[in-house]
Amino acid sequence: MAIVKQMKELGLNPKLSFFVRAADGLSCGTSLGKDGDYVITSPGWNPAVKYPGVTQMLQAHQQKYGKSAEATTGPAYAIVQILADALGRAARYDRDSLREAIAATDLMTVMGPVTFNADGTGKVVTVLNQWQNGKQELVWPPDQQTKPLAFPAIPFKER
C-alpha cells in the first residue's frame, strides 16, 4: 500500500502495475480506494471462479466467518483437498508414501485442475485479479473473468 501511495505522490503513473502478494488482501482495496485501482495481483484464486465446490465453500466460509472469502482462501482450501485426496490414495501414512501420492495427484479442486511436475511444483491455472472500482475482479483466464483487464491505467490525478 505504501508503494502505491508513493507512486501517486511522485506522479509515477505506470500503464500496468503487477504486485505479488502485497495487494492480495481485501484491506488493500479498502485502504487505497481509487488509488488501488488498476493494480494486478496473482493470488492463485478468486471467489468468482467457476469450479466444482466453490459455491459450497463460499457459503460455508460466509456462515462461519461472517465475511466473504478472500483471494487467499481458495488456495488454502485446495491444499486441504489435495492432502485429503492423497491420504485416501497413499499406500501408507509415512513421508515417502504420502509424497508419492501427492505427486500423483490429478484432481479438480476449487482452484481448478491440479497436477504436479516431476520436481514437485504444481501445475495449476494461473489466476490474475485486478483492482477495479475498489473490488478485486477476475481478469484472467478469459473463460473465468468477471471483467476484462482495465488497461492502460488512468493517471492518479484523473481517478
Domains parsed from the chain with CATH numbers: 1-43+127-159 (no CATH), 45-125 (3.40.50.2300)
**pLDDT of 24:** 67
**pLDDT of 25:** 67
**C-alpha span between 102 and 154 (Å, rounded):** 44
Question: How remote is the C-alpha of 36 from its chain's centroid?
Answer: 17
In the β-sheet with 122-123, what is the strand arrangement from edge to edge?
106-109, 112-116, 122-123
Helix (H) or strand (E) holding 60: helix 54-65
Residue 1 reports pLDDT greater than 70: yes
**C-alpha span between 85 and 35 (Å, rounded):** 42
Which are the contacts of 123, defined by CB distance < 8 A and separation ≥ 6? 114, 115, 116, 117
pTM attached to this predicted model: 0.82
Query: Residue 73 corresponds to which cell in the numbers above?
Result: 482462501
Each residue's pLDDT tens digit, 90-122: 999 999 999 999 999 999 999 999 999 999 999
Each residue's pLDDT tens digit, 53-103: 999 999 999 999 999 898 889 999 999 999 999 999 999 999 999 999 999
The answer to whether residues 138 and 148 touch, using CB atoms and an 8 Å cutoff, is no
Give the pLDDT band (50/70/90) at residue 134: confident
CA angle (122 as vertex; 79, 113 as ends), nearest 5: 70
